[in-house]
Amino acid sequence: MSRVLPPSHPDELLAQVTALPALPGVYRYFDKDGAVLYVGKAKNLKKRVSTYFQREQGGTRIGHMISQIASMQTTVVRSEAEALLLENNLIKALAPRYNILFRDDKSYPYLKITALPATLPVVPSPMPNAANFPRVAYYRGAVEKKHRYFGPFPSAWAVKESILLLQKVFRLRTCEDTVFSNRTRPCLLYQIKRCSGPCVNYIDPKDYAQDVLNAEKFLDGETGEVLNALQGRMMAHAERLEFEQAAELRNQMSALSTVLHQQSVDNVSDKDVDVLAVKVQGGRACVNLAMVRGGRHLGDRAYFPTHVEDAAALYAADIEGELGEGGVTAQPVEVQVLEAFIAQHYIDVAVPPTLITSEPVGKPLLDALSSQSGTRLTAVHNPREQRRQWLEMAQKNAGLQLARLLAEEGSQQARTRALVEALDLAPDEMDNFRIECFDISHTAGESTQASCVVFHHHKMQNSEYRRFKIEGITPGDDYAAMRQVLTRRYIKFAQAEPEVIEPTLADPAALVSGAAVDVVTDVVTDVVADVVADAQAAEPSATALADAMVSKAPPPTARMPDLVLVDGGKGQVSMAKAVFETLGLDIGLIVGVEKGEGRKVGLEELVFADGRHKATLARDSAALMLVAQIRDEAHRFAITGMRAARAKVRVGGSKLEEIPGIGPKKRASLLQRFGGIRGVAAASVDDIAKADGISRELAEEIYRALR
């Protein structure tokens, strides 16, 4: 059954839907401004896409979304599994308005044990070589094949706890190579029996290597083998009457047995398992992910998706269009949320062979992840024994975390509402109320930085924060600095044209580096069309196509805030008013936060640019609490940027970035390893080449450049 599209949709869209092939693929809907509305997959593109336009949706959420569709792009793939992977790559990259979205900017931490050398010295040398004694360390970032990495861990705390266990049982070193090479006597860790003192030859390299291998087996869950090996070595020493060495091994076995008892993994057969529990309530959802690695429960992490209600309504309507032809039954929201999390989360994270889930997971998703990871993946929905305990724990934590989130959001919404009422504002949508706040920071005029922080959707939006490097003014002139930052921020709105927000920078060092950059991009639709055309010609993998689209897709458009806060009194407000009048913007948006008597928190007064009298809010006012929070965050963001810029000038770290091949990451690694630019300049070529990511040739170039 086919019906004509409503006349509100362009003829080009009608023709495109009619011409769609009956093949698996991914489709993307865009509004008139080129913003992505929805990304979906289909076994049959023609059948699936047509269902959106075959029936009247009225004033429902899905009807509202469909009414906004102005254009569409599709990509044909070879299988449903590839369509599923591509769909979730694009969802994660493009953040469509009507898809369930999981956002997590932090990478998972790992426990790293550096590689053992191919050969160990027969006789210990007077000056121990750090390379012969691997170190255990906390690690984030790209992995190198020559080292061993264990994890991922759900939190930094879990990694540090595991390192502490390795120190107690196997007494492995944690010090940097530079510290190791300059020791003349053992450190405090040796005194408290957390290190075997390899830096001063207190342990033979072969014995240390055996401890390293035992530690790796312990982290892999092979605890029985470790205990048996330690017992065998202890008995051998005892037979040779080497009672001191036997006593050391006995103490090691005792420590390991204590750890195993505390971790309760004596009878656990599972080594690497992820436990996933989902809870949906009050229009919000929480997925609790617990990790078991090497048979040890390492803790959990909670994730909160966005657009749950929109995605649920859209999915139900999507499936409903196929029911007449024997299609699938719409799935519960919990299943949708869990499958969305699994599909998006394991794009960038290694998936363990077993998942324990609170809801059933579809076989197509498991097959797709199995083909992507190269290992057979199973999901257990109704576990028993130890697995049941893990799942119940995850379900309880999901409920607790969701309850906490709902309580916090209720409080945040109440604060937003209180501020709107206190200032007599009338935003179109309370949930879309947007505040931008500015602050200036410098030290006696040095390294002046301006900050802009954003409060939107009842919370601070860290990804939209911006720093501005202020130049060309008299040092210490805060008014001129405020004029410059406001002009640069809002000049895009002077001709009533929408601003294009600068893309979020992946490297935190880049955020500190300077002025905001104006980004001019083409419409999303044209960009996607070019990418898809190239991709179909080359027949890329799903991941490669998604990566290409991320690199070309423009950032979302923004609008003027509903309120502009400036940290300052009448002088700063007058400056902001002059800028807005010059740009032709509404001066009623400007409010200054003037510090009260003694600059005490709770005594602030609000100064208005449009001539209204100052407003003094009660100290326990929810509105004042919100204003103070935003103002303090702007101050924090400005001062950290100023300190980083000042340190860069004073320490001379910028000299490193002037060397070809040295970027922010390598610069930070070198400065951290050697304690600053002076330490790098004093280091030899061999020492520099030992830093992560530094080749011998680059080390020689650094050595020459700093001399």
Whether pLDDT at 298 is above 70: yes
pLDDT at 492 over 60: yes
- pLDDT range class, residue 396, cuts 50, 70, 90: very high
Q: At what angle do helices 80-94 and 542-552 cross, to 10 degrees?
A: 20
Task: Give 55's pLDDT tier (boundaries 50, 70, 90).
Answer: low
> pLDDT band at 535, cuts 50/70/90?
very low
For the ranges 472-486, 529-543, 689-703, which has the lowest average pLDDT? 529-543
CB 347 within 8 A of CB 88: yes
pLDDT at 497: 45
**What residues contact residue 661 under an 8 Å CB cut-off, 6+ apart?**
698, 701
Give residue 323's region: left, alpha or beta (phi > 0; psi -120 to 50): alpha
Beta-bridged to residue 112, according to DSSP, are 137, 149
Average pLDDT, the chain: 77
Pairing relation of β-strands 446-456 and 605-608?
unpaired
- The number of CA neighbours under 13 Å toward the Cβ of 578 is 12
**Direct distance between the N- and C-terminal alpha carbons of the chain, in angstroms, rounded to an integer:** 78
| Helix, strand, coil in percent for the chain, rounding step 5 | 50, 15, 35
The two tokens of residue 253 are: 């076995």
Count the Cβ atoms, other than its own, within 10 Å of residue 490.
20
Q: Which pLDDT value is given to residue 502?
A: 38
Place of tokens 């002077």: 494
Quick: pLDDT tens for 626-635.
Answer: 898 899 999 8
Q: E-assigned strands of 394-465?
A: 434-443, 446-456, 459-460
pLDDT at 174 over 70: yes
The beta-strand segments (E) located in 313-457 are 354-357, 378-380, 434-443, 446-456
Predicted confidence (pLDDT) at residue 536 exceeds the cutoff of 80: no
Residue 669 contacts residue 661 (beta carbons within 8 Å):
no
Strand, coil or helix: 317: helix
198: which DSSP letter? G
- pLDDT value for 8: 64
Asked if 468 and 487 touch (Cβ cutoff 8 Å), the reply is no
Q: pLDDT tens, 557-601?
A: 467 899 999 988 889 999 999 999 999 898 999 999 988 766 666
What is the phi/psi pair of residue 599, to 5°?
55, 30
- The answer to whether residue 279 scores a pLDDT higher than 50 is yes
Strand partners, 616: 605
Would the pLDDT of 182 be above 80? Answer: yes
Measured in degrees and rounded to the nearest 5, phi and psi for residue 88 equal -80, -30
* pLDDT for 499: 41
Per-residue pLDDT, 252: 67
Check pLDDT > 80 for residue 361: yes
More confident residue, 533 or 347: 347
| Residue pLDDT, tens place only, 444-465 | 667 788 999 999 988 888 888 9
Structure tokens at 468: 């501005």
Q: Looking at this protein, which amino acid is placed at residue 259?
A: V
pLDDT at position 316: 60
> What does the pLDDT read at residue 322?
41
Distance CA 419, CA 424 (A): 8
DSSP 492-535: GGTTT---BPPPPPSSHHHHHSS---------HHHHHHHHHHHH
- In terms of Cβ atoms closer than 10 Å to its own Cβ (0-12, 13-18, 19+), residue 122 is exposed
The answer to which of 158-167, 266-275, 604-613 has the lowest mean pLDDT is 266-275
